[in-house]
Amino acid sequence: MTDAIFAGSIPKFYETHLVPLIFEPYAPDLARRLASNAPRRVLELAAGTGVATRALASILPATSSIIATDLNAPMLEQAKAIDIARPVEWRQGDAMQLPFEDGTFDAVVCQFGVMFFPDKPLAFSETRRVLAEGGVFVFNVWDRIEENEFADMVTTALTRRYPDDPPRFLARVPHGYFDCRAIERDLANGGFARPPRIDTVAARSRAASASVPAMAYCQGTPLRNEIEARDPSGLGAATDVAAEAIAQRFGRGAVDAKIQAHVVMIER
């Protein structure tokens, strides 16, 4: 299963193309929500190349310590190469089996990583275990793909290119965990007794041209693995098809599309 593999050239494309396109608009929002609790000990799950980590480092009180984890070591290596406002402890770690003692953290945060957890109630149970009593878990997930226009356009374009076996990574994983009732149920099954607060937050995704989101999604995510599995030499052509579809919809110059996510906050 390649849905959670971010390796090879993906981390660099992810940071240079996908981060400014869709992740930077949400990182300050997540950090501000967490900062209102003034946590002293913070754990980040699925930190990726560190976009939310950098927002946390710039907003949280100086007394807050941050440990940022990710399953994929190449993503953390990319994160370490980028300047950050304060020292952060980077650790490879699996959200399904966290290497920390019970009650270690005042807050756990995860930006757009929960969708990749293969057993979400188990991951939520691990999160609850490492949270101190009264600690807070804050995370966000993408809304359905139809509410996220560039991702929807790329998926539709690739469906036309590969009609017999369309690559569905974007719809299946990043945009596959949008049902708020399912999120509430999984949190409860993970041991969280209190109801979560869930806010739906729309933002804008902007780029200098249609080729930027096409490159971001096709070459900066595991969608690349699906494309190359179907056509080992077709990555460039598939990216061009996606770019042309976006250009036809949003224009040949700068492009601007809707993105939308759910932001979840729950106390232990």
- Does residue 254 sit within a domain? yes
Please give the full DSSP string across 73-140, using - where no structure is assigned.
HHHHHHHHTS--SS--EEEE-BTTB--S-TT-EEEEEEES-GGG-SSHHHHHHHHHHHEEEEEEEEEE
Q: What is the pTM of this model?
A: 0.94
What is the number of structural domains in the chain?
1
**CATH at residue 130:** 3.40.50.150
In this predicted structure, the answer to whether residue 14 has a pLDDT above a threshold of 90 is: no
Over residues 247-265, the pLDDT tens digits come to 999 999 999 999 999 999 9
Over residues 173-230, the pLDDT tens digits come to 999 999 999 999 999 999 999 999 999 999 999 999 999 999 999 998 999 999 999 9
- Does residue 1 sit within a domain? no
Over residues 126-168, the pLDDT tens digits come to 999 999 999 999 999 999 999 999 999 999 999 999 999 999 9
Label residue 2 by pLDDT band (50, 70, 90). Answer: low
The distance of Cα 204 from the centroid of its chain, to the nearest Å, equals: 16
Q: What is the pLDDT of residue 6?
A: 75
Q: What is the pLDDT of residue 37?
A: 86
In this predicted structure, the answer to whether residue 74 has a pLDDT above a threshold of 70 is: yes
- Does residue 5 sit within a domain? no
Label residue 4 by pLDDT band (50, 70, 90). Answer: low
- Does residue 174 sit within a domain? yes
Q: What is the pLDDT of residue 12?
A: 86
Between β-strands 131-142 and 89-92, what pairing exists: parallel, antiparallel or unpaired? unpaired
The distance of Cα 13 from the centroid of its chain, to the nearest Å, equals: 14
- Does residue 253 sit within a domain? yes
Please give the full DSSP string across 63-92, using - where no structure is assigned.
T-EEEEEES-HHHHHHHHTS--SS--EEEE
- Does residue 220 sit within a domain? yes
Between β-strands 41-45 and 105-111, what pairing exists: parallel, antiparallel or unpaired? parallel
- Does residue 134 sit within a domain? yes
Domain that holds residue 72: 10-267
Over residues 17-62, the pLDDT tens digits come to 999 999 999 999 999 999 988 899 999 999 999 999 999 999 999 8
Mean pLDDT calculated for residue range 86-109? 97
Distance CA 127, CA 192 (A): 10
The distance of Cα 232 from the centroid of its chain, to the nearest Å, equals: 26
- Does residue 77 sit within a domain? yes
Distance CA 249, CA 120 (A): 36
Q: What is the pLDDT of residue 5?
A: 65
